Structure 1
Amino acid sequence: MPSSLPDSLDNWWCSTDTEYAFLGFSYEITACQSPSQLDADFADIRNNFNGRYVRLYGFCDNDDFYDDIVDAAWNNGLGVHALIWFGFDGGDEWETRRDSLINTLSTNPKAKFVTRGVQFGSEPLFDDVLSHDDLASQVYSAKAQLADVQIPVTVSELAYGYQERGGAQDVLDAIDYINIHMLPFFSTLATTGAEAWPLVENDMNWFIQNGNGKKMYFDENGWPSVTSSGVQPNSFLADASVNSEQQYYELLDSHCTDLKNAPGGGIGWFAHVYSDSQEPGYGVYDANGGQKFTSSPSPCAR
């Protein structure tokens, strides 16, 4: 990062044509990590994994928490995909989170230089939090409020979330880019991470066909190493193991050219999540801080 804030966002962000294959991690924030923990984790993502972004997941309602996120991202040369979290209980807390985030993005002078986009999520269509037309209206409203700081807006959602709402084309039309939940472990056809490409390709092609050429990211994207109360397969052949988790990410890496050649400048993906301490089974680190596996992205991914 420069020693002082730039005067404008002109030529600040790299072209989205350079944002394909591995980009970074989903990072769960319900623990309301301290500034020092954020700084340490973001430094690890940047320096040890060559990550470019963190995609926030969950929520922390502490005052000024997103300011801490901004500082940690700035200090470590990372961008952030911010999140307005709806949750799963049907409450209206998301409205306060929306207003708080938009206020920070509009007033913190560094925020627009690290915030690549804002997501409504997680899976508001699939969870029937809002009707698709109400969700589209929320997207348009947030876009208008963030126009001065030039931060785009999207929805973090499954392909099935759109499909069960008749395609929800009004939402696809409203969003600036497409954030896709890619969780093939839950398919009725799931077997192992190594064999998941047809499942990935099926959902990917649906968004290619219906997304009007917009930029795409696999944001909540991964394969679990263990099952839990909230992570149960829909196929008796689905293998939850460290080996399958590693194989899934290596599978995506092996299809880097397919991702690079997708519309909108290629598809970038996040690993969901950074640590099992944030969501059991999905982390690249286990709950004790040990790396569960190592792999090297292909030259295409770099």
Structure 2
Amino acid sequence: MPGSVPSSLDNWWCDTSSEYAFVGFSYAVDACQSLDTLKREFKDIRNTFNGRYVRLYGACDKKGFYDNVVDAAWDAGIGVHALIWFGFDGGNIYKTRRDSLFNTLKSNPKAKFVTRVVQYGSEPLFDHVLPAKELAKEVESAKATLSNLRIPVTVSELSFGYTQPGQDKAGAMAVLKAIDFVDAHILPLFAGGASTAKNAWGNVMGDIKWFSENSGGKKIYLSENGWPSVKGQGNINPQSRTAVANVENEKDYFDMLDSKCSDLKAVKGGGVGWFAHLYSDSQGMGYGIYGTNGKLKFPFKPRTSC
């Protein structure tokens, strides 16, 4: 980062066509990590793994927390995919979180220089947290509010969230039309007929193709993306009896994405960038690259280009 905050966003962000292959980690913030922890772990993401971005997951409602995220990201030289978290209990707390985030984006001079995109999530269409048409209006309103900051807006969602039975298809397509980028959830362990991670490419590419065709070729990020090392804990309950979840398959999944770098690069809209979900098992059992002991579960040196 420069020694002082720039006066303009002109030519600040790289073209999205350069953002394919591995781009960073999903990072859960329910623990309301301290500024020191955020700085240390964001620097680890940048320096150890060549991550460009941190994609926030969950919510911390502590006052000033996003200011800490901004400071840590600036210090580490990393960007943030911010998140307005609906949660799983319904209600309108997302509005408070939205307004708090927007206030920080407007008041903190560094915020627009580290916040690459604002996401509504996670899986609001799949969970029916709002009628689809209302969610589309939320996105349009957020885009207007953030337009002078040049911060895009998206929704972090499964393809099935748009197409599931009972979904308002017109409303769901209005959401897909409104978003600036596509943030796709790719969790192939839960696909019907899932077996091992090495066999997951068809499911992954099927979802990518659906998003590309139905979004009109918008830029795609795999925002919540991975293969857990355990099942039967929390909500890790696959449909398929043949689905295998262990450390070997978690590693195999990311190795498979690495092997398909050229395919991801070739997708319309500037290629597909992917996040690893999650940074640590302390943030979500089974999905972390780091175990709860703070050590890597397997060697992780993903490709950032090809």
State the TM-score, normalized to the length of structure 2: 0.97
Counterpart amino acid of 2:290?
Y
Distance 2:239 2:305 in 1: 31
Counterpart amino acid of 1:277?
S
Further displaced range: 159-168 or 80-89: 159-168
Kindly indicate whether residue 170 of structure 2 is the aligned counterpart of residue 171 of structure 1: no
Deviations along 1:137-159, one digit per CA (max 9) or x if unpaired, are: 00000011101111000000000
CA contact 2:49–2:301 (8 Å) conserved in 1: no
Distance 1:186 1:36 in 2: 36
CA-CA distance at 1:296 after TM superposition: 3.1
Could you say what the CA RMSD is over the residues aligned between the two structures, in angstroms? 1.0
Moved over 6 A (4+): none
Which one of 263, 267, 288 corresponds to residue 293 of structure 2?
A: 288
Indicate the SS of the match to 1:112. helix
Deviations along 1:180-199, one digit per CA (max 9) or x if unpaired, are: 00000001111111110011
CA contact 1:253–1:301 (8 Å) conserved in 2: no
**Equivalence for 2:46:** 46
**Equivalence for 1:266:** 271
Distance 2:106 2:258 in 1: 36
**How do residues 71-150 of structure 1 correspond to structure 2 at under 5 angstroms?**
71-150=71-150
CA-CA distance at 1:9 after TM superposition: 0.1
Indicate the SS of the match to 1:277. helix
Kindly indicate whether residue 222 of structure 2 is the aligned counterpart of residue 218 of structure 1: yes
Counterpart amino acid of 1:146?
L
Further displaced range: 287-296 or 172-181: 287-296
CA-CA distance at 1:125 after TM superposition: 0.2
**Equivalence for 2:261:** 256
Indicate the SS of the match to 2:235. coil
Indicate the SS of the match to 1:83. strand
CA-CA distance at 1:229 after TM superposition: 2.9
CA contact 2:82–2:118 (8 Å) conserved in 1: yes
**Equivalence for 1:194:** 198
For residues 91 and 14 of structure 1, do their structure 2 counterparts lie closer, same or farther at Cα, with a shift above 3 Å needed?
same
Distance 1:17 1:220 in 2: 20
CA-CA distance at 1:291 after TM superposition: 0.2
**Equivalence for 1:231:** 236
Distance 1:141 1:107 in 2: 19
CA contact 2:254–2:302 (8 Å) conserved in 1: no
Matched length: 301
CA-CA distance at 1:3 after TM superposition: 0.3
Counterpart amino acid of 2:12?
W
CA contact 2:229–2:246 (8 Å) conserved in 1: yes
Counterpart amino acid of 1:267?
V
CA-CA distance at 1:202 after TM superposition: 1.1
State the TM-score, normalized to the length of structure 1: 0.98
Identity %: 59
Is there any run of 5+ residues in structure 2 with no aligned partner, and where? none
**Equivalence for 1:162:** 162
Indicate the SS of the match to 2:39. helix
**Equivalence for 1:151:** 151
**How do residues 18-33 of structure 1 correspond to structure 2 at under 5 angstroms?**
18-33=18-33
CA contact 1:123–1:161 (8 Å) conserved in 2: yes
CA-CA distance at 1:295 after TM superposition: 3.6
Indicate the SS of the match to 1:181. strand
CA contact 1:117–1:154 (8 Å) conserved in 2: yes
Distance 1:62 1:106 in 2: 18
CA-CA distance at 1:301 after TM superposition: 2.6
Distance 2:294 2:275 in 1: 19
CA-CA distance at 1:237 after TM superposition: 0.7
Deviations along 1:103-124, one digit per CA (max 9) or x if unpaired, are: 1101110000000000000000
Further displaced range: 272-281 or 205-214: 205-214
